[in-house]
Amino acid sequence: MSTLYRPEPVPIDVPAEPAVRLIPLGGLGEIGLNMMLIESGDDIIAVDCGLLFPDDEMPGVDYVIPDFTYLREHRERFRAVVLTHGHEDHIGALSYLLREFDVPVYGTPLTLAIAQHRLQELGVLDRADLRPYAPGDEIRAGGFVVVPIRVTHSIADGIGLAIETPVGTVIHTGDFKLDPRPVDAEQPDYAKFAALGERGVLCLCSDSTNVGRPGRTGSETEVGEALAGRFAQAPGRILVATFASHIHRIQQVLNLAQAGGRKVALLGRSMVANVAVASEMGYLKVPEGLLVSLEDLGGLAARKQAILSTGSQGETHSAVSLIAAGEHKYVEVGPGDLVIFSSRVIPGNERVIGRVINALLRRGAEVLWEDVAFVHVSGHASEDDLKQMMEMTRPRYFMPVHGEYRHLLQHSRLAESVWIAKDRIFLVEDGLGLELSKSGARVLAGYPAGRVFVDGKGIGDVGQVVLRDRQLLAEAGMVVVALTVDKITGSVVAGPEIASRGFVYMKESGELMEEVKQAVREALAARQEPEVIDRELIGAVVRSAVRRFINQRFDRKPVVIPLVLEV
């Protein structure tokens, strides 16, 4: 057994009795890339279709999307996509999916509006069949009946799903927390979850992101109350950096600015777009005359200014980073100004955000972030909330979702500590599937579920070999050796000439380059001439000679590219 909660998987086969299969294509083994297939009989639906933002090990990659191979192999059975909420890690890959599949996409109005903006940018909107739903509606897709259930999260219109299958009800919580005082007063539908538990839940798939945090996740309203004191005390302008999708956080900042007699300018394309969409649809209430342009804001006294901006993760070209560097066209910060990073730090971004915070502090601004002040609360359930979800639904089987392996394992242990028997808890990662039937459950192996890299307009043409080459180039640079040989005798007619990028500065390394050339000449002179002159063999000799020389001299291993021409 590979782990306490995952029996040895068996190969995919035809189920012996009516069954439902839960097949994660992403999101179980990482934070992001969320997509799970629900399969039963002749029908498949997808819950979410998200992307993953690249890390330092993916140089040049724009996005990572799920592998749709299994859907391609069974496209005639693919019935629908059901979205839980509008975050990029749940809807960001939708435009790539809809290029290949003509299936309806269901979501709440706000979720579809955010998705629509992305689809339009990538030229897929015309072929998208977007169908809005509301909590309590019934969505029929093949043999499935899907009922949306209201939950709270760090974006408005968060939804969990009750999926009626031929063998029982599967609950997928989506990303959730149990907020007793949400900004929009729309509490999670506790009664619906409890009623499903009374009737009988086959399997609970529950959000694992905050499983390591004891107690309950704080209310979004508490953040607004904490920020109110900061707004009241700030003598100068206030800049709040947060996620553009966090409509409730944005609402509270707008309310505080209005109460303090401040005007608000928006920074960041996604911030401007989301505020416009959310206010038009009634999810955001913007006081009349509160929003002004940056130019008009600059004409006001600093204590009358507030700025809502994207860039809370310290992105290189974001407005906040430009302001910190003193390079923004309209905004400068200094003593008396307050900058608030009202968001969590996404793992991996700590160093980048730290640089931006340091730069702002050097300019004399006061800076608040999650580590030093209460300026943010999570949108994910902590351990007591997770236990409450299990107690309300009382599932026969439990499968943690949305998290790295450590999160899934901790959540499995938490479920066992509540009352769920360990042989009914299944730790499943991408590429595996959980089959559930009336008689039992088993884990299946063999589902294609790799990561597909998007680089510019290329989808899937960058793989691990290309990424390894990019990493090598980034770490040690490149040396190009060009020479011309006689195609009859193999003797060197011209060269070798050396070019380098990322290895040494050529203009200051003339003597070194001459030594590299001499190493190449000696290696070519020492080789045994074959009867047929082969450019590939000559190139291999050149590559080996340059690598050996550089490794012995510098203990470095740049990429060496020989260019051999024949005359």
**What does the pLDDT look like over 123-148, one tens digit per residue?**
899 999 999 999 999 999 999 999 99
Is 380 annotated as catalytic? yes
Mean pLDDT over residues 397-408, rounded? 96
**What's the mean per-residue pLDDT of the chain?**
89
Mean pLDDT of the 554-566 span? 80
Mean pLDDT for the stretch of residues 7-27: 91
Characterise 156 by phi-psi region: left (phi > 0), alpha (psi -120 to 50), beta (else): beta
* Active-site option among 43, 48, 89, 207: 207
For residue 167, the Cα-to-chain-centroid distance in whole angstroms is 33
- In tens, the pLDDT along 222-239 reads 999 999 999 999 999 999
pLDDT at 304 over 90: yes
What is the mean predicted confidence (pLDDT) over 83-106?
95
Give the confidence band of 528 by pLDDT, cuts at 50, 70, 90.
low
Average pLDDT over residues 531-557: 77
Is-contact 133 139, C-beta < 8 A? yes
* Mean pLDDT lowest among 4-13, 198-207, 236-245, 439-448: 4-13
> Can you give the pLDDT at residue 529?
62
Measure the CA–CA gap between 368 and 363, rounded to whole angstroms: 14
Contacts by residues 344-349 (CB-CB < 8 Å, ≥ 24 positions apart): 344/370, 344/376, 344/378, 345/313, 345/369, 345/370, 346/313, 347/31, 348/55, 348/56, 349/313, 349/314
Catalytic, 87? Answer no
426-470 pLDDT, tens digit per residue, is: 999 999 999 999 989 999 999 998 888 776 666 755 666 666 766
Kindly state the average pLDDT of the residues 372-386: 95
What is the crossing angle of helices 109-121 and 269-281, to 10°? Answer: 140
> What are the sequence ranges of the domains in the chain?
16-215+378-459, 220-368, 477-566
At position 117, the amino acid (one-letter code) is H
Report pLDDT for 81: 98
What share of the chain in percent tops pLDDT 70? 93
Q: What is the pLDDT of residues 241-275, one digit of tens each?
A: 999 999 999 999 999 999 999 999 999 989 999 99
**Residues paired with residue 20 on neighbouring β-strands, in sequence order:** 436
For residue 319, pLDDT beyond 80: yes
pLDDT given at position 6: 78
User: 3-class SS at 309?
Assistant: strand
- For 31, half-sphere exposure in the C-beta direction (CA atoms, 13 angstrom radius) is 12
Q: Which of 217, 245, 238, 215 is nearest to 92 (CA)?
A: 245
| pLDDT above 60 (res 531) | no
pLDDT band at 398 (very low <50, low <70, confident <90, very high): very high
Strand, coil or helix: 403: strand
- Helix H or strand E encompassing 164: strand 159-165
Average of per-residue pLDDT across 184-205 = 96
Fold of 16-215+378-459: Metallo-beta-lactamase; Chain A (3.60.15)
- CA atoms of 154 and 66, how far apart (whole Å): 24
pTM: 0.85
Whether the predicted pLDDT of 544 surpasses 70: yes
pLDDT of 567 over the 90 cut: no
Catalytic hit among 153, 380, 402, 411 = 380
Q: Which residue has the higher pLDDT, 7 or 405?
A: 405
For the cut 70, the answer to whether the pLDDT of residue 532 exceeds it is no
- Overall CATH class of domain 477-566: alpha beta
Quote the pLDDT of residue 1: 41
Q: Sorting pLDDT into bands at 50, 70 and 90, what band is 499?
A: confident
What's the pLDDT at 242? 94
pLDDT (mean) for 159-172:
97
Distance CA 411, CA 206 (A): 9
Cα→Cα distances 113→36, 47, 148, 470, Å = 22, 18, 17, 37
**Nearest in space to 382 (alpha carbons), one of 350, 351, 414:** 414
Q: Is the pLDDT of residue 336 over 90?
A: yes
CATH topology of domain 220-368: Rossmann fold (3.40.50)
Question: Between the CA of residue 401 and those of 51, 161, 448, what are the distances in Å?
Answer: 16, 14, 18
pLDDT tens digits along 47-69: 999 998 876 666 666 788 899 99
Q: Specify the pLDDT at position 362.
A: 95
Report residue 247 as tokens. 């409509």
- Percent of the chain at pLDDT > 90 equals 65
